[in-house]
Amino acid sequence: MKGLKLASLDEKGRSQVKVGPVTFGEGFIIIAGPCSVESKEQMMETARSVKAAGADMLRGGAFKPRSSPYEFQGLGLDGLKILRHASNETGLPIVTEVVDPRDVIMVCEHADMLQIGTRNMNNFALLKEVGKTDKPVLLKRGMYATIEEWLNSAEYVLNEGSPGVVLCERGIKTHETYTRNTLDLSAVPAVRELSRLPIITDPSHGTGRASLIEPMCLASVASGADGIIVEVHAHPEDALSDRDQAIDPKQFSEIVGKVRSLREFMGKGSMKR
């Protein structure tokens, strides 16, 4: 694919990306947590419950890119500290979004993995900056990006010496309105035939509807994804953002069970690719 060097699939084989005890590209990685860090209590409660349910890693937003300057923009540094605390207590590494190149160093001090959100996939200044750090990067697909543009954005990060990039299909904008975005699961096998990078999916943003998350998690496993990232909120009805797509710890726990079971089945006998 045009422009790809470091992200392309070649004789070096598939890339593995390590984040503390977690290795993307090896098993099936489940990341969970709230959309935004809202308070220490909310984050800790959710962190404990997703850990209990079997999550491998925590997520949570401290910096939230919002369409209007008058909407909640996240807790910032306070949010990062809460995330660090949640990680330390649960032992799960954390991934969190960074939106400004000037914040990268600060975020690195608290996070284990840096997330580039969908609105920043083409923010090349930011891509270069996260690529210079020793933290691996979770690169969400731009909601209007082609797979080619997305892989080229990964190339920007890798070209700066980054220890690794994990791609995240999070849904693209289409004419459909019933779902918030359209989760493009064909991107999973497409990326796997074009690139050496691990790829996970985000059924929460990809559908925007709690009721569709479980089937899309299972379909992600069947499509060959290396993991999922799911929005879980201890009390979805109270969430400050993305309320319609948040599931509670009990629903999450059921999904984890089915996902692990399906993944095991997919790796056995004649199902193995």
Closest Cα partner for 104 from 93, 91, 120, 87? 120
Q: Which is nearer to a copy of itself, 112 or 214 (CB)?
A: 214
Residue 185 in the binding site for a copy of itself (CB under 8 A): yes
Contact between 30 and 49 under an 8 Å Cβ cutoff? The reply is no
Residue 246 in the binding site for a copy of itself (CB under 8 A): no
For residue 23, the minimal CB distance to a copy of itself (Å) is 22
Three-state DSSP state, 137: strand
Q: Which is nearer to a copy of itself, 113 or 127 (CB)?
A: 127
User: What DSSP letter does each residue of 181-225 carry, written as one string?
Assistant: SB--TTHHHHHHHHBSS-EEE-HHHHH--HHHHHHHHHHHHHHT-
Dihedral of the alpha carbons of 244, 111, 75, 210, in degrees to the nearest 10: 0
| Bridge partner list, 226 | none
| Bridge partner list, 61 | 36
Closest Cα partner for 199 from 221, 171, 162, 227? 227
Q: Which is nearer to a copy of itself, 88 or 174 (CB)?
A: 174
The token pair that represents 193 in the structure block: 């035939």
Q: Which of residues 106-135 bind a copy of itself (CB under 8 A)?
A: 119-120, 122-125, 128
Q: How many CB atoms lie within 10 A of CB 172?
A: 18
Q: Which is nearer to a copy of itself, 42 or 223 (CB)?
A: 223
Residue 147 in the binding site for a copy of itself (CB under 8 A): yes
Q: Which is nearer to a copy of itself, 80 or 221 (CB)?
A: 221
Closest Cα partner for 147 from 97, 195, 216? 195
Q: Which stretch binds a copy of itself (CB under 8 A): 19-27, 80-88, 179-187, 238-246?
A: 179-187
Q: Is 74 left (phi over 0), alpha (psi -120 to 50) or beta?
A: left
For residue 119, the minimal CB distance to a copy of itself (Å) is 4
For residue 200, the minimal CB distance to a copy of itself (Å) is 14
How far apart (Å, rounded) are the C-alpha atoms in residues 268 and 234? 35
Which one among 99, 130, 166, 234 touches a copy of itself, defined by CB under 8 A?
Answer: 99
Which one among 10, 89, 109, 148 touches a copy of itself, defined by CB under 8 A?
Answer: 148
Residue 12 in the binding site for a copy of itself (CB under 8 A): no
Which one among 219, 240, 243, 253 touches a copy of itself, defined by CB under 8 A?
Answer: 219
Q: Which of residues 53-92 bind a copy of itself (CB under 8 A)?
A: 65-71
Q: Which of residues 254-273 bind a copy of itself (CB under 8 A)?
A: 257-258, 261-262, 265-266, 270-271
Q: Which is nearer to a copy of itself, 88 or 186 (CB)?
A: 186
Residue 18 in the binding site for a copy of itself (CB under 8 A): no
